[in-house]
């Protein structure tokens, strides 16, 4: 619950005597957004207070009071009994004001040696770092779901497409494992981002550091950072950790969108390659036969939000001089929305993939159409007839035209008809023209042969375990 009329702002000290205009208060306040950082804010305050006492900057009595008061504030927040005030602007001032109500004067010592600038930078880094780690866990869950489906369908043939035209036969397992590879790169991008943001801004104060003999290594260690940031100006003004995370979210969302698009196509009546479970489908208010892949479509749509968040954040930061500017207050809503969207998208996609089923007959029929084994004919001519690939390509093109004119598939042509195009073709050609023979022959590393797919599945299962 947020109080919009409560306390006047006393945190600015004696410089101001008049209350801000109501519109100024509305545009300046961020509590409706940054109250989401409450846990991180209190963790940072506890670490800071503990360090201040260890460095003899505040007394042990003050520390005990501050810690007990912060514990009470945290409990009030968790139980939704805390009264937020927009007049107090942000989560930092709201927590400090409530702390003062609880413990009195010792609350005023908590802000020694720090500023809201390094405080919010610390809170936000903690939040984004933990959010990235949580998304990594979700990516692994989706990868595992894809691997299980790939394992179950490692030798089921389906058409491989280029330009959404039938190109060559592949296996369902091979197709799904392509997304495992994409997601693994998203995982490492989040992981790399966590490494780069794993430095603590706390103690940089407003922008220049502090004259108090603080121990920044202590607070960094307490909060789980690898160490303190080395430059106080950079510490309070850097938001590249947010930008990098949003970039990773945008790339991951794009991968999910591509997969979602395929689920939409595969589950459509003309394709009928796959069927979405009832849990991940919706109906129509007027057409009772409909099974709409709404979850996949919504995952696809959320890519726009992810891209927008990245561009918004880049734009906010693009022209800001060092160090802190109030523009940076608008970083959090953008990031929260993007992380929430990718969270929901990853969960939804994992659910869809885990419960979907495939239509083997439809997949095989589609894989067999469109002269999908034409390349196998060309490759056979190169291997067996020792002719250049370009000549083999021409022979195959003429053979495809012959089959097309007759309204049959390549393997339906007789040997005599094949030899009318290229007399050196032998009966052995029929060993490579079926879709099963085609996929089985693709045994190069990373190929679609079921044996290769199962090897990749086994390797990924070992990595994820």
Which of the residues are catalytic?
Answer: 163, 284
Between CA 166 and CA 438 the distance in angstroms is 14
Structure tokens at 241: 């950790």
Planar angle of CA 187, 191, 197, nearest 5 degrees: 145
Between CA 430 and CA 235 the distance in angstroms is 68
SS (H, E, C) the chain: CEECCCCCCCCCHHHCCCCCCHHHHHHHCCHHHHHHHHHHHHHHHHHHHHHHHHCCCCCHHHHHHHHHHHHHHHHHHHCCCCCEEHHHCCHHHHHHHHHHHHHCHHHHHCCCCCCHHHHHHHHHHHHHHHHHHHHHHHHHHHHHHHHHHHHHCCCCEEEEEECCEEEEEEEHHHHHHHHHHHHHHHHHHHHHHHHHHCCECCCCCCCCCCCCCCCHHHHHHHCCCCCECCCHHHHHHCCHHHHHHHHHHHHHHHHHHHHHHHHHHHCCCCCCCEECCHHHCECCCCCCCCCECHHHHHHHHHHHHHHHHHHHHHHHHCCCCCCCCHHHHHHHHHHHHHHHHHHHHHHHHHHHHHHCEECHHHHHHHHHCCCCCHHHHHHHHHHHHCCCHHHHHHHHHHHHHHHHHHCCCHHHCCHHHHHHHCCCCCHHHHHCCCHHHHHHHCCCCCCCCHHHHHHHHHHHHHHHC
Structure tokens at 251: 């790339």
């Amino acid at each position: 619950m947020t109080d919009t009329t409560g306390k006047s702002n006393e945190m600015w000290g004696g410089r101001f005597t008049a209350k801000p205009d109501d519109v100024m208060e509305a545009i300046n306040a961020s509590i409706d957004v940054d109250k989401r950082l409450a846990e991180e804010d209190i963790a940072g305050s506890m670490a800071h207070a503990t360090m201040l006492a260890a460095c003899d900057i505040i007394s042990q009595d003050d520390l005990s009071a501050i810690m007990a008061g912060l514990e009470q504030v945290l409990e009030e927040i968790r139980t939704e009994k805390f009264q937020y005030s927009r007049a107090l602007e942000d989560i930092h001032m709201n927590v400090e004001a409530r702390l003062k109500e609880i413990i009195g004067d010792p609350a005023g010592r908590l802000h020694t040696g720090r500023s809201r600038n390094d405080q919010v930078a610390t809170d936000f880094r903690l939040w984004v770092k933990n959010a990235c780690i949580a998304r990594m866990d979700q990516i692994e869950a989706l990868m595992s779901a894809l691997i299980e489906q790939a394992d179950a369908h490692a030798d089921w043939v389906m058409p491989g497409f280029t330009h959404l035209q039938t190109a060559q036969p592949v296996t369902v397992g091979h197709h799904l494992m392509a997304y495992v590879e994409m997601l693994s790169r998203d995982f490492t991008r989040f992981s790399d981002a966590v490494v780069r943001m794993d430095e603590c801004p706390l103690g940089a104060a407003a922008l220049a550091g502090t004259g108090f003999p603080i121990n920044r290594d202590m607070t960094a260690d307490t909060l789980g950072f690898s160490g303190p940031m080395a430059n106080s100006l950079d510490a309070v003004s850097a938001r590249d950790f947010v930008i990098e995370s949003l970039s990773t979210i945008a790339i991951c969302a794009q991968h999910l969108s591509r997969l979602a698009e395929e689920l939409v196509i595969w589950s459509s009546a003309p394709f009928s390659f796959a069927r979405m479970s009832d849990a991940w489908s919706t109906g129509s208010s007027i057409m009772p036969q409909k099974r709409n892949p709404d979850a996949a479509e919504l995952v696809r749509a959320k890519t726009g939000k992810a891209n927008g968040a990245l561009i918004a954040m880049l734009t906010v930061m693009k022209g800001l001089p060092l160090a802190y500017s109030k523009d940076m207050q608008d970083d959090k809503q953008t990031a929260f929305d993007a992380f929430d969207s990718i969270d929901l998208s990853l969960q939804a996609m994992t659910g869809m993939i885990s419960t979907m089923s495939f239509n083997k007959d439809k997949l095989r029929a589609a894989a067999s159409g469109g002269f999908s084994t034409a390349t196998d004919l060309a490759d056979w001519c190169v291997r067996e007839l020792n002719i250049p690939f370009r000549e083999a390509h021409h022979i195959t093109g003429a053979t495809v035209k012959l089959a097309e004119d007759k309204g049959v598939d390549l393997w339906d042509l007789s040997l005599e008809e094949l030899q009318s195009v290229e007399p050196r073709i032998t009966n052995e050609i029929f060993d490579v023209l079926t879709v099963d023979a085609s996929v089985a022959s693709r045994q190069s590393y990373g190929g679609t042969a079921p044996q290769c797919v199962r090897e990749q599945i086994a390797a990924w299962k070992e990595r994820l375990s």
